[in-house]
Structure 1
């Protein structure tokens, strides 16, 4: 499925805001702008704010509030993001996939799959166009939200 290209961190934050609002959720956003504040630019020299091309890297940390599941999103300036659902990180998601990912999780398409042998639970997030993300759930207990999403 073709997704709209989200050219900037701010475009991703705006798309997340729209998706959250559609499901009655609020967001809190923290912006980090400049090579001296970007998590992935720690190798930038002292007092260096801009990248060598003169641009300012822009990252954002977004937390959805007011309901379950707990979701946080880290948007990086390298066109990727990490979405964490109930403590389970989905790393290196293309930033263009973040809104569809949120719609899948908040719209009850995400589910938990697992078995007793070999033991293991996976959080599965299907997106339109046969794109699916899944991550192993570590730890002993499932949260109430994860338990409510178990499929056999």
Structure 2
């Protein structure tokens, strides 16, 4: 099965790709849409009642919650990036095109936690195809059952 997606140039295309991934992985999915400059999180500078960008387009942002373990939610931004939260660990500025592969990595067992004694700490490591890897620091106190089961 081909797991690649064409360039996800819109938030709606990204949501459709995430719905397909959720279907493949047998996960529940819930999507909330925020449309208009007055509704999107990065457009708080928009004036009162202003819903469009200066070019007349409506910015579209979506918040996606996926069921199952690990707990993952995704905020898709109109600018083409996403913030993915895995078990409370936030990954910022993930390109929208890489979100489906990121989810597959988390659910296929590729994602793991690396720990160090000195300086003490853990990192959640999410490898993607093409030798791309995302890493985020997580406090030792924040290890959930799923994160603990992924420590290497």
TM-score range, shorter chain: over 0.9
Of residues 46, 49, 72, the one that matches 1:47 is 49
The size of the alignment, in residue pairs, is: 149
Residue 113 of structure 2 aligns with which residue? 112
Q: What is the Cα-based RMSD across aligned positions, in Å?
A: 1.2
Matched residues in 2 for 1:106 and 1:15: separation? 16
Of residues 61, 64, 76, the one that matches 2:63 is 61
Q: Given the alignment of the two structures, is residue 149 of structure 1 paired with residue 150 of structure 2, yes or no? A: yes
Matched residues in 2 for 1:141 and 1:44: separation? 36
Give the superposition deviation at 1:19: 1.0
CA deviation string 1:69-113 (max 9, x = no partner) = 000000000000000000000000000110110111111110000
Give the superposition deviation at 1:118: 1.4
Matched residues in 1 for 2:35 and 2:26: separation? 28
Q: Given the alignment of the two structures, is residue 92 of structure 1 paired with residue 121 of structure 2, yes or no? A: no
Residue 31 of structure 1 aligns with which residue? 33
Q: Is the 8 A contact 2:122 2:140 kept in 1?
A: no
Q: Is the 8 A contact 2:38 2:44 kept in 1?
A: yes
Q: Is the 8 A contact 1:72 1:84 kept in 2?
A: yes
Q: Which residues of structure 2 form unaligned runs of 5+?
A: none
Matched residues in 2 for 1:142 and 1:35: separation? 36
Q: Which residues of structure 1 form unaligned runs of 5+?
A: none
Residue 132 of structure 1 aligns with which residue? 133
Q: Which contiguous aligned blocks of 4+ residues in structure 1 show a shift greater than 6 angstroms?
A: none
SS in 2 for 1:90: strand
TM-score (norm: length of structure 2): 0.94
Give the superposition deviation at 1:115: 1.6
